Amino acid sequence: MFWRRKKADFELFSIDSDNRRGSYRVKPSEEEPILLNLNNEKFRLIDIGALGFSFQNKDFQVNDEYDVDFYIKGYIKKIIARMYIVAIDEHDICHCAFQELSEDDYEAIHKYMLEKQKAETRGYT
């Protein structure tokens, strides 16, 4: 089960305060970013969870749907998914949800999140 420690840890683990999403997300490190391939452009993910992710907006709109792909640390296969933009916040961040994600990819994201959580508790990020 995913948990959060102190308030200072919100940089690594985030939960929407207005409850728009119902899952934890982790922040990829600067040294090992997750780069989303969307419309033949690369976007650095701000956070990721098994149900979705967020990234900086570039002229996208709420309810837009796209096929995307990306790699995560520890998983050799490229994750290919269908996503849609649920919301765009006041900081121009797109909050997205997966529409179609294979069970293996879903599990790989969970494993990535768990590894990030373990690293954080050991003092690594």
Alpha carbons within 13 angstroms on the beta-carbon side of residue 81 total 25
CA distance 94 to 86: 8
Q: Is the dihedral of CA 73, 76, 79, 80 positive or negative?
A: positive
Q: State the virtual CA torsion across 76, 27, 117, 80 in degrees, nearest 10.
A: -30
| pTM (2 d.p.) | 0.78
Q: What is the pLDDT of residues 17-71, one digit of tens each?
A: 444 445 678 999 899 999 999 999 999 999 999 899 999 999 999 999 999 999 9
Q: What is the pLDDT of residues 73-99, one digit of tens each?
A: 889 899 999 999 999 999 999 999 999
The class that CATH gives domain 7-121 is mainly beta
